[in-house]
Amino acid sequence: MLTIAAGSILVGCLGSEDSSFNGDSKNAANTTGNSSPTIAGSPASATMFGEMYEFVPNASDPDGDTLSFAVQNKPKWASFLSSTGKLYGQPTLADVGEYNDIVISVSDGSSSVSLPAFAVAVTESALGSVTLSWVAPTQNSDGSALTDLAGYKIYYRKGSGSYIEAAWLDNAGITTYVVEQLSPATYAFAATALNSAGVESSFSGEVTRTVQ
């Protein structure tokens, strides 16, 4: 069995404001008999041009009221869904820059709460990286000895997306790899082993890391 581990994250100039954003109670306006909705979430602070940016806040209402969302200072390259609070878009090279004071709020029709204002930087390059390491497998899936290990494939995915092949390593002696040029997000990594006939194993267990 192939097992990988994610080591240190080397972060370049893409900074990150700390955070677990919680609802801003000072914006709540309770009315008698009504409980204010809640909203929380941690938007990524940067994205690289050409990549899809997406953020959906977590919101709920103790009374079960129907919720609607609004946004202030929406980036020109982004779209917004008032039904879910989803902010998303794929900025182009022309959109490189900083977009500040973005505020997403939720209302139950009687009161509203907002996330603290946040910023999103659109950059020309992504400088985040994750170092992966593993122990070379010694057995086939049927328990027999693995005598013709030829190399590995490294995969990653962002969020709930499909795996993307990051590298094909045709050297069985390599047991570390650095996945580079990652924009800020949470990634899941996995690896497979290949024998000399090109037969590929099933995926290893996933490891996750957040690049900020």
In this predicted structure, the answer to whether residue 130 has a pLDDT above a threshold of 50 is yes
Mean pLDDT over 69-75 rounds to 98
Distance CA 185, CA 158 (A): 7
Distance CA 102, CA 122 (A): 14
Q: What is the pLDDT of residue 25?
A: 41
Q: What is the pLDDT of residue 12?
A: 29
Question: The tokens 């027999």 sit on which residue?
Answer: 144
Lowest mean pLDDT, pick from 20-34, 36-50, 189-203: 20-34
In this predicted structure, the answer to whether residue 19 has a pLDDT above a threshold of 60 is no
Stated pTM of the model: 0.55
Distance CA 9, CA 209 (A): 8
- Band of pLDDT at residue 125, cut at 50, 70 and 90: confident
Q: Tens of pLDDT along 138-181?
A: 999 889 999 999 999 999 998 777 899 999 999 999 999 999 88
21-123 has the same fold as 3-11+126-211 = yes
**Domain extents in the chain:** 3-11+126-211, 21-123
User: In the chain, what percentage of residues exceed pLDDT 90?
Assistant: 64
CB 58 within 8 A of CB 67: no
Q: Tens of pLDDT along 173-204?
A: 999 999 988 877 788 999 999 999 999 999 99
Question: The tokens 């990286």 sit on which residue?
Answer: 129
* 45 vs 125, residue with greater confidence: 45
Calculate the average pLDDT of the chain: 85
Q: Which CATH number does 3-11+126-211 carry?
A: 2.60.40.10
Topology at the third CATH level for domain 21-123:
Immunoglobulin-like (2.60.40)
Q: How far is the first Cα of the chain from the last one, in angstroms, to the nearest whole number?
A: 31
- Band of pLDDT at residue 58, cut at 50, 70 and 90: very high
- Radius of gyration, CA atoms only, the chain: 22
In this predicted structure, the answer to whether residue 13 has a pLDDT above a threshold of 50 is no
**Most confident region among 32-41, 125-134, 192-201 by mean pLDDT:** 192-201
